[in-house]
Chain A
Amino acid sequence: MTILTIILIVPVLLLFGAGYMHINNLKRVHKRIEELKGGKVPKEDFYREMTVAQGSNFSALAMTAWIMLFVAIAYLYLLIPSDLPFSYMMQIPEWASHPLGFFIFGFIVAGVAIVVILISDNLPENHRDLKLTELYSFYSISKSMKRNICLTVLLLGISVVFSAYAGTIYPEHNSISEALSFILLIFSMGILVFPIWEGRI
């Protein structure tokens, strides 16, 4: 098993950990408020009052960053053959060898991510905690943190480039480019989930 496969656990843990922490944060805040109010508080009312307006520019760039994250993960782990059962170059070699093959892969992954986000966005109001588009609506985020989150679009783009380079030179390996791609991915992921960590109860 390659090191890259082993340390796949890191982004998986980060993603699921952040998701769990986010849902748990909201649950705990909801529970605290119900205790302090001495009665039931409907989730819709709770979510409505908890919401913080973050601005359309930030929201658009944050969503772009999350989509880029999924693309970057796919590029790093699913582009070239590895220990994982699926790789784009092996499973769909005709597309992979197309001059725009890597772009097509990126668009497919982005498309899938967008579809998942749109589906989650149509969940009822009492499931707003599961909507990625509303992720940052429940946290107070400073402007500098917002700039950092938006910067991850660039960092993840660079990660994608490094992963694409690894794909281009395949079957040659360049550990440095893979490592850099991984570091940029994890660093960006850390920034994206930091508001959840900061806002924990």
Chain B
Amino acid sequence: MRLCICGIGGTGGKVASNFLENVDLDSDILSWITEAKYVSPGRVAGIWLEADKKETKERGVFKDPKENLVERGYPGFFVPHDAVPDGCDLYRAISKKYGYDLKKQGFVRDAQYLKAIFEIFETDKDIQDFIDEDIGVNSGPNNHYSKMNNEARIRNPIFDYAWDSIKPYTIHDEGHSGECEGILFIVSFGGGTGTGFINPIIDHIRTSGKTAFPVFVLGILTQPGNEESGQKTLEGQRYLAAISALYDLLTKRKGADGIILMDNEILDKLPGSDTEKKYQNKFIYDAMKPMVIDRNYPGEKPDGQGLQTAFSKGLNWPPIFVPFYKSQPRRPHPEKELVKKALSDGKLFDCTPEKADKAVVFCRGFVNTTEIKKAIWGQIWSDQEYDDNSDKIWVLRKVGERNDEILILLRNPYGNDPKAHEREGTLEKKLCKMIDSALGYMNEHKEDLFYEGKESKKVVKTREDEAVGLTDRSKQALSQFFFGKEGFVKENFGKTEGLAFELREAKKRLMAGDVDPSGEPIFSRPLDIFKKEAIKETEEEKRPQTLSLDEEKIKEIVDKRIDEKLAALKSAK
């Protein structure tokens, strides 16, 4: 199965660069003579989505797709916000009604910002009318608005543009030239664009009717630390962004088919890691190669549906996958040692392997499937008797290079353990720490949640960096989103409703060991900033006031009428 690699944001672009490097020699003259096509390892295809035009100057392998020759504009970078013309009525309408700047670039690219913009399009019919006027049929990277988008459905120009950029490389391309049977989004959790974009774009793909199209997310968690660690933003802000993105991903029933987590804190400890993260980004590519690269053993090539089923079968919620990766020089019968080293030294996110309910394993080299299964079973589920017919472990093998490599993706390696949050190296402890940091930030930097605090105004160098000015409508919606109907009340912080409450409840469940990936999820209910009900409320406000009656009231009125009628009859007699 060929995957479309879609890097979103700075980190996504840098990591995706490694996947999409051209294996061929770079020569314009030669390419013209041989009509050479750009070829990436494993014949994967992909693009880079970025919201900040400034970031696209350091573009690596990516090119501006508006360059003359289509091939030489590949792999391209796309700025989906370009779908909205500067200063158009749509832009002004959203700005006036909500205070959100559709073309916002710069530091304000947090998860809630892009989530809010997405939901404005999804919930506000008046805004939809502006799309007809301003965007019409001439949007999208190739001035093409797909058939789907012209049908009567909610349109969202930024995310339509993004999906239109990705689609040509997938089997959903209308010109039938795309070959990718699934997408792997690569984002950072805690950064700006990627964290904010990932949920809306997956939502958009699913609401476009592509519910059976495999979509995976590789999320790289930001490392802890503040300015003293060289970070530009506060840890709490980054963890709030990360946990918000994870929250949305994990509460969408028909969302991603798998969320693969890696931790920068672990990657930064690898021998060879550097401050510019070039080594770490290359390592991420090496670790994912067994999943992404081709050269499958004959008969072991999964199709998109097969992989989707393997990843998410039997689950109500999108699963978390923790990768374990190891590469070692080729040797006879490498299975046991490879698995042992991968599980002991190759963990890329905190978790408890024994809690995993499934392992999806990608191997490169000469390995025996049964031996791999036995080795993994023996390490992880040693208390259970090995069952060769069980579908708990799915192994896919590929011909490798000089090394034997293994990538073990353990599904949902957490849960049902009240002590887990106390132990170092568990997913529960990691999430609790992130939640604490996020809640602390929400409590102490409330103004920044509405882009009014010190942090929001810190970097103002250009017009693009000017502070966001939300309207009361947006502030109210955000306040309700974060703190519930009553808004921020210090004494009741996180005790009633809203994201703060949900995070506290999630932490309680994690600490009590009540989280069960097959039943009780980490985060229980999806949250919206702008709700669809808001449209109904607005419409109801416009209609003349009518009585709103509940059952008790109806009984009261009926009783009263009966009494009146009986009284009238008595007096008539």
Contact = CB atoms under 8 A, between A and B. Distances in A.
Contacts of B22: 55
Nearest to B23: A55
B202 interface: no
A53 B299 contact: no
Contact of B27 (A29, A57, A59): A57
B530 interface: no
Interface string B32-55: 011111010001000000000000
Interface string A37-51: 100011001101111
A57 B24 contact: yes
B295 A50 contact: yes
Contacts of A45: 298-299
Nearest to A37: B297
Contacts of A60: 30, 33-34
A42 B216 CA distance: 33
A49 B25 contact: no
Given A147-B25, A198-B402, A56 B295 contact: no
| Most chain B CB within a 10 A radius of its CB, from A37, A48, A61 | A37
A54 B298 contact: no
Size category of the A interface is 20 to 34
A32 B295 contact: no
B266 interface: no
A150 B295 CA distance: 25
A116 interface: no
B31 interface: yes
Chain B interface mostly: loop
A7 interface: no
B401 interface: yes
Contacts of B25: 55, 57-58, 61, 143, 146-147, 150
Given A33-B399, A36-B297, A53 B34 contact: no
A61 B25 CA distance: 10
A49 B298 contact: yes
A87 interface: no
B367 interface: yes
Nearest to B367: A36
Contacts of A49: 294-298, 301, 399
A140 to B, nearest CB: 4
Interface in A133-186: 140, 143, 146-147, 150
A49 B366 CA distance: 14
Interface in A8-30: 29
A64 B176 CA distance: 35
B32 to A, nearest CB: 10
A56 B34 contact: yes
8 contacts: A36-B366, A37-B298, A49-B297, A49-B399, A55-B39, A57-B25, A143-B23, A147-B25
Given A54-B39, A57-B27, 17 more contacts: A33-B298, A33-B399, A36-B369, A42-B298, A49-B399, A50-B399, A52-B295, A54-B23, A55-B24, A55-B36, A55-B39, A56-B31, A56-B34, A56-B36, A57-B31, A143-B23, A143-B25
Sorted nearest first, the 10 A-B pairs with minimum C-beta distance are: A55-B24, A56-B36, A56-B34, A45-B298, A57-B25, A140-B401, A57-B30, A57-B36, A53-B39, A55-B39
